[in-house]
Structure 1
Amino acid sequence: MEDKIVEIARFYEPEEAQILESLLKSEGIKCYLRNEYTSQVMYPANMGGIRVELLESEVPRAMEIMEANGYEFPKEDEEVEQIQAVSGWARHIPFLRRLPLERQIIVFFILVAVFLALVIYFGSLVSSN
């Protein structure tokens, strides 16, 4: 049976991800950072974050090491509440309902940016007259 690669943590600052990677590797756990370089190029619009990934069989040991070094894990209920809070607005926009959460967020931010650009543009027209 082949072991799957799973995400154990996600960071939005490269240094934080690199510190955890170094910690786990120093304890003999093979892991790697996914999206490390794209996150640095896209910074500060780092939507997906830098993912620390390792073999599924190493997760229990890695979690023990992380806990011993002060890393906290959100409870499942907290994660569900956060996802529901972020995606709650999508129920009110029909074309977003069919999209995955990440795309809903991206489309929402684009819509907000366009709205703000229009407000600024029309505000400048009014103030210049």
Structure 2
Amino acid sequence: MSSLVTVKRSHLESELLALKGRLEAEGIQCFLKNEFTTQVMNYMPTFEVELQVSDSDLEKVKEVMGALETD
């Protein structure tokens, strides 16, 4: 059974949405952890949204993120 791994964190959900869309276009299922908590409690800087993927997809995620950095 796979577990979820955080691949990127941000205080703003909008910063993660483009990456989430790109990963999903590659067939990688993504989840946003804490997205609703940060919307409700956005005045608290300790809360971050986390983009998570299955640990079985981690190598493919690294490849996609690496390609995005070189573009």
Per the TM superposition, whether the score is higher than 0.5 is: yes
In the alignment, which residue of structure 1 is the partner of 2:58?
59
* TM-score of the superposed pair, with normalisation by structure 1: 0.50
Asked if residue 39 in structure 1 is aligned to residue 38 in structure 2, the reply is yes
Q: How does 1:89-104 map to 2 (within 5 A)?
A: none
Kept after mapping to 1: 8 A contact 2:11/2:48: yes
* Aligned-residue CA RMSD (Å): 1.5
Shift, 1:48, TM fit: 2.9
- 2:6 corresponds in structure 1 to 7
Counterpart residue type for residue 5 of structure 2: V
Higher helix share: 1
Contact 2:37 2:47 in 1 (8 A): no
Larger relative contact order, structure 1 or 2 (CA cutoff 8 Å, min sep 6):
2
Flag as ranges the 4+ runs of structure 1 deviating above 6 A. Answer: none
Bigger strand share: 2
Residues 42-87 of structure 1: CA deviation (Å, up to 9, x unaligned) = 113131300011110101110110111128xxxxxxxxxxxxxxxx
How many Å apart are 1:20 and its aligned residue? 1.4
User: Which residue number corresponds to residue 21 of structure 1?
Assistant: 20
Please report the TM-score for the alignment, with normalisation by the length of structure 2: 0.87
Q: Residue type of the partner of 1:22?
A: G
Number of residue pairs the alignment of both structures matches:
70
Segments of structure 2 that go 5 or more residues without pairing to the other structure are none
Secondary structure of 1:40 counterpart: helix
